[in-house]
Structure 1
Amino acid sequence: MKKLIVIVCSMFLFYSGLFAQEKQFKAEVYGFIRSEFYHDSYKGINAAMDNFYLFPAYAGLDPAGKEINKNGMTNYTAMATRFGFNISGPELFGAKSSANFETDFAGIVSEYPEVLRLRKAFVKLDWENVSLLVGQTWHPLWNGMGGNFPQVGNLNTGAPFNPFNRSPQIDFDYRTGNVTFSFTALYEQQYVSRGFYAAPNSNSKNLAKRNAGIPELVIGINHSKGAVTAGIAGQFNAIQPMSITDMGYVTEELNTSLVGMAYLAYKKDKLYLLAKGLYGQNMANMLMLGGYGAKSYNTTTGEMTYTNYNNYSALFNLVYGTKVQLGLFAGVAGNLGTVDPLYDFGGSAKIAGLATSLKNMSRASTYMAYNIKNLKFVAEYEMTTADWGAGNFDFSDGLYDDTNSATNHRFLLMVMYNF
């Protein structure tokens, strides 16, 4: 694998050098080598061998009354290492042309980590007031049309309190003065909406989106002046949770959902501040709390209609310093229940999503970083608490009347060399 990577990079650099001479192309390599040691006090929902930790998972008590998942885990890994190419090319259609390709070694994070995977791959045309991006990159709700995402030590960049998603998309931006209007149409690849499909392999995990045939749509407005940036955005999504009912009938019933986002950021000299909030439905494809369930059921055909859970999240992030940096992060998220009552399937409900039985969640973290030119050392403490539903289930709103709380304490030490 190492030899293959070296050969591929060498060939790319060789041919990019030829293109630079003949076709005015220029390619710059960037990336970092990252290794990290971490310890979790509570097992949880995670990816990449616990490297990407979301929240603790309550699993009940053993016969002696001890919490089953309150058992520490420790790991050391370098799988977050990544590299990419920024490519600039000749003028096309009166616009500056550029492209980006980026990969890392997180692989299929839940199954085969430590193999190459695609992170970003897009082409961009940039006119004076208009830009067009085609390809895969970050979801527009992740960073709010700019570099405004949580700055933390852990790989999760604030998830699940902040959206985390990279998707194939077409993005159109129009700039006038200090204001940018953005329109984005996206499909799903690695980060997918849940459906009622059997998923025997990774190629079938995004069937709910593929079968719907309608792209996810995001419209945003961003205002930037001096050190202050503010933005709002709205998202519309449609999925087809199933194509064949349990009675064998074809169904094309869609579930549609909406999300709203607002943020305010300040960046000047040594200080970075970010406040951000989201309210919406079925945000599981962005690694956030959310989902939906069946609200009606045809006992003859097996067809269902759907209702969404309403969820919210809010976060605050502060970073100060350059050579020595101090960072703080605080986030809350919650489940407000379903819009309509759920259908009672003989004492149970049919629900899809991410942690729909989780009522409330919070996180507080702090880190210290020491930067020496290209080298960075980070130490971080992160505490995440999740209140899981327990007791009686209420079909009127999809919530439980009691909760069980679980708290994880994560300690991280990280070394990163940027190039």
Structure 2
Amino acid sequence: MKKYCLLLAVLLGGTANVFSQKKGFDYNFYGQVRTDLFYNSRSNSETVDGLFYMYPLDKNLDPNGEDLNGNSNSDFYTLYTRLGVDINGPKLGKARTSAKVEVDFRGSGTTYSLFRVRHAYFNLAWKKSALLVGQTWHPLYGDISPEILNLNMGAPYQPFSRAPQIRYRYSDRHFQLTAAAVWQSQYLSVGPKSNKAGETGTQKSQEFIKKSCMPEWYVGMDYKHTGLIAGAGVHVSSITPRVNSEVTDDNVTTTYKVDERITGVSAEAHVKYVRHNWLVAAKSVLGTNLTQTSTVGGYGITHIDPVTGKQAYTPLRTSATWVNVAYGKKWRPALFFGYLKSLGASKEVIDVLGTGTGLGQLFTGTAELTYNVPHWKFGAEYSLCNAWYGDEFDAKAKATESHTVMNHRLVLTALFQF
């Protein structure tokens, strides 16, 4: 045991010496230890066993009429414990240099308790402009997100993703222009699981954006003045669902090379006002195929070539809006409301691919109370989510008849921040 303690002391001492020898650098270490206890009244669409919670699953009745998704669930986690470092470096020409590296223990998918990179980027800043290169928040997430205890930060109403990107910002007095080229890493687009023509099994994969050879694009403008941020942006994504198609005729399967692409244009508007312990924030998104941002949607198949199996697509459209109000400092109550509606496609479709494509509407109402003192936060949050699942759909994949499914969720959280 003494040997291990001695080794640790040497390593820490060596690290400190390295930092002290880096002239012109300034390091600020930070982090948190976070614990989350949650309860759901039924099964839900989620990742990490309910930590990243989305919406209740549809009813799945057994032969006796019992709902297989009607089971409650609960668990306790520390996976969002976090470590990070902000770095200010020496100038590069006339540019001020900085960087950030931040990790947590959430892992990926269903692989828990492993380091996961949250942010990793460097930034070059001039008098009025800045260039960021690396992974950080997706521009659709932006600088405005709801203040809630749920770790999904308002998804699927709020686009949620951290992504590799090259982002340029220009600021002049109260206005800020943002332009970014964005790729995918941990949050991925949905596409076909099979190359067989007409099959609509889905998967999330990085292959769809890699094979498109085209990043996502975002351009937005913000107005900032005395606690107010208001702005809007436009986002374009273009992915390649398949490059090969398998067609079976008379029990003989032939593979064809195909050129497929689905392009979507989305828009968002946001506002946030902070003054005298008040927070009022809202965002509205008209989204097309934004499955890589933890929301609902996808695209439909409009045509299948009878010879090659090549498929043509059209994006599914969704409208999502959230509003968040909070007041206080030490004791801080907050309310959150989110509403999402599936608008279907602009063309008639044969079938659809995506996430939550069976939803017609979605509503969430949340109430929370947090107790905040230096370095500590304790909170409790109750959330009600009502999902309308389609019983009948028109030719453009929009629900015309639906039934409701409801989930009650309780979250208890404690954070030690350093």
Fold match (TM-score > 0.5): yes
Q: What CA distance in whole angstroms lies between the structure 1 residues aligned with 2:412 and 2:280? A: 24
Give the equivalent residue in structure 2 for 1:313.
320
Letter of the structure 1 residue corresponding to residue 297 of structure 2: G
| Aligned alpha-carbon RMSD (Å) | 2.1
Q: What CA distance in whole angstroms lies between the structure 2 residues aligned with 1:46 and 1:371? A: 28
- Report how far residue 66 of structure 1 moved: 3.1
Q: What CA distance in whole angstroms lies between the structure 2 residues aligned with 1:16 and 1:192? A: 38
- For residues 219 and 405 of structure 1, do their structure 2 counterparts lie closer, same or farther at Cα, with a shift above 3 Å needed? same
Aligned length: 399
Kept in 2, the 8 Å contact 1:16–1:25? The answer is no
Give the equivalent residue in structure 1 for 2:363.
362
- Report how far residue 400 of structure 1 moved: 3.9
Kept in 2, the 8 Å contact 1:313–1:334? The answer is yes
Q: What CA distance in whole angstroms lies between the structure 2 residues aligned with 1:111 and 1:198? A: 22
Kept in 1, the 8 Å contact 2:190–2:204? The answer is no
Kept in 2, the 8 Å contact 1:16–1:26? The answer is no
Kept in 2, the 8 Å contact 1:223–1:231? The answer is yes
- For residues 194 and 327 of structure 1, do their structure 2 counterparts lie closer, same or farther at Cα, with a shift above 3 Å needed? same
- Report how far residue 302 of structure 1 moved: 0.4
Kept in 1, the 8 Å contact 2:393–2:401? The answer is no
Kept in 2, the 8 Å contact 1:185–1:215? The answer is yes
- Spell out, residue by residue over 1:308-353, the C-alpha distance to the aligned partner (whole angstroms, 9 max, x if none): 111100010011111111110000001011111113xxxxx2x221
Kept in 1, the 8 Å contact 2:189–2:204? The answer is no
- For residues 283 and 9 of structure 1, do their structure 2 counterparts lie closer, same or farther at Cα, with a shift above 3 Å needed? farther
Q: What CA distance in whole angstroms lies between the structure 2 residues aligned with 1:270 and 1:409? A: 29
Q: What CA distance in whole angstroms lies between the structure 1 residues aligned with 2:262 and 2:322? A: 28
Q: Flag structure 1 segments of 5+ consecutive residues without an equivalent.
A: 344-348
Give the equivalent residue in structure 2 for 1:292.
299
Equivalent residue in structure 1 for 2:269, among 262, 281, 284: 262
Q: How do 1:49-198 and structure 2 match up within 5 A?
A: 49-108=49-108, 110-143=109-142, 146=143, 148-198=144-194
Q: How do 1:341-380 and structure 2 match up within 5 A?
A: 341-343=348-350, 349=351, 351-380=352-381
Q: What CA distance in whole angstroms lies between the structure 2 residues aligned with 1:228 and 1:132? A: 24
Kept in 2, the 8 Å contact 1:42–1:71? The answer is yes
- Spell out, residue by residue over 1:47-81, the C-alpha distance to the aligned partner (whole angstroms, 9 max, x if none): 11111110000132233333221211010111111
Q: Secondary structure at the match of 1:299?
A: coil
Q: What CA distance in whole angstroms lies between the structure 1 residues aligned with 2:9 and 2:168? A: 31
Letter of the structure 2 residue corresponding to residue 36 of structure 1: D
Q: What CA distance in whole angstroms lies between the structure 1 residues aligned with 2:300 and 2:10? A: 50
- For residues 16 and 310 of structure 1, do their structure 2 counterparts lie closer, same or farther at Cα, with a shift above 3 Å needed? farther
Q: What CA distance in whole angstroms lies between the structure 2 residues aligned with 1:65 and 1:197? A: 31
- Percent identity, aligned pairs only, is 29
- For residues 17 and 24 of structure 1, do their structure 2 counterparts lie closer, same or farther at Cα, with a shift above 3 Å needed? farther
Kept in 2, the 8 Å contact 1:13–1:27? The answer is no
Q: Secondary structure at the match of 2:21?
A: helix
Kept in 2, the 8 Å contact 1:58–1:404? The answer is no
- Report how far residue 17 of structure 1 moved: 5.0
Give the equivalent residue in structure 2 for 1:336.
343
Kept in 2, the 8 Å contact 1:195–1:207? The answer is no
- For residues 127 and 388 of structure 1, do their structure 2 counterparts lie closer, same or farther at Cα, with a shift above 3 Å needed? same
Kept in 1, the 8 Å contact 2:258–2:308? The answer is no
Give the equivalent residue in structure 1 for 2:229.
229
Query: Which one has a larger percent strand, Structure 1 or Structure 2?
Result: 2
Q: What CA distance in whole angstroms lies between the structure 2 residues aligned with 1:289 and 1:167? A: 18
Kept in 2, the 8 Å contact 1:168–1:189? The answer is yes
Kept in 2, the 8 Å contact 1:135–1:168? The answer is yes
- Spell out, residue by residue over 1:198-242, the C-alpha distance to the aligned partner (whole angstroms, 9 max, x if none): 59xxx9821111100001000000100112110100000000011
- For residues 8 and 369 of structure 1, do their structure 2 counterparts lie closer, same or farther at Cα, with a shift above 3 Å needed? farther
Q: Secondary structure at the match of 1:162?
A: coil
- Report how far residue 152 of structure 1 moved: 0.2
Give the equivalent residue in structure 1 for 2:198.
none
- Report how far residue 9 of structure 1 moved: 12
8-17 or 406-415: bigger deviation: 8-17
Q: Secondary structure at the match of 1:89?
A: strand
- Spell out, residue by residue over 1:129-168, the C-alpha distance to the aligned partner (whole angstroms, 9 max, x if none): 010000000001113xx3x210001111111110000000
- Spell out, residue by residue over 1:345-370, the C-alpha distance to the aligned partner (whole angstroms, 9 max, x if none): xxxx2x22111111100000010001
Give the equivalent residue in structure 2 for 1:384.
385
Letter of the structure 2 residue corresponding to residue 278 of structure 1: V
256-265 or 396-405: bigger deviation: 396-405
Q: TM-score scaled by structure 2?
A: 0.91
Q: What CA distance in whole angstroms lies between the structure 1 residues aligned with 2:220 and 2:11? A: 39
Q: Flag structure 2 segments of 5+ consecutive residues without an equivalent.
A: 196-202, 248-254
Kept in 2, the 8 Å contact 1:197–1:241? The answer is no
Q: What CA distance in whole angstroms lies between the structure 2 residues aligned with 1:372 and 1:35? A: 17
- For residues 384 and 156 of structure 1, do their structure 2 counterparts lie closer, same or farther at Cα, with a shift above 3 Å needed? same
Give the equivalent residue in structure 2 for 1:346.
none
Give the equivalent residue in structure 1 for 2:411.
412
Q: Secondary structure at the match of 1:309?
A: strand
- Report how far residue 387 of structure 1 moved: 1.0
Q: What CA distance in whole angstroms lies between the structure 1 residues aligned with 2:10 and 2:387? A: 47
- Spell out, residue by residue over 1:277-314, the C-alpha distance to the aligned partner (whole angstroms, 9 max, x if none): 00020011101111101101101000011011111000
1:42 partnered with 2:49: no
Kept in 1, the 8 Å contact 2:277–2:329? The answer is yes
Q: Secondary structure at the match of 1:49?
A: helix
Q: What CA distance in whole angstroms lies between the structure 1 residues aligned with 2:111 and 2:291? A: 21
243-252 or 167-176: bigger deviation: 243-252
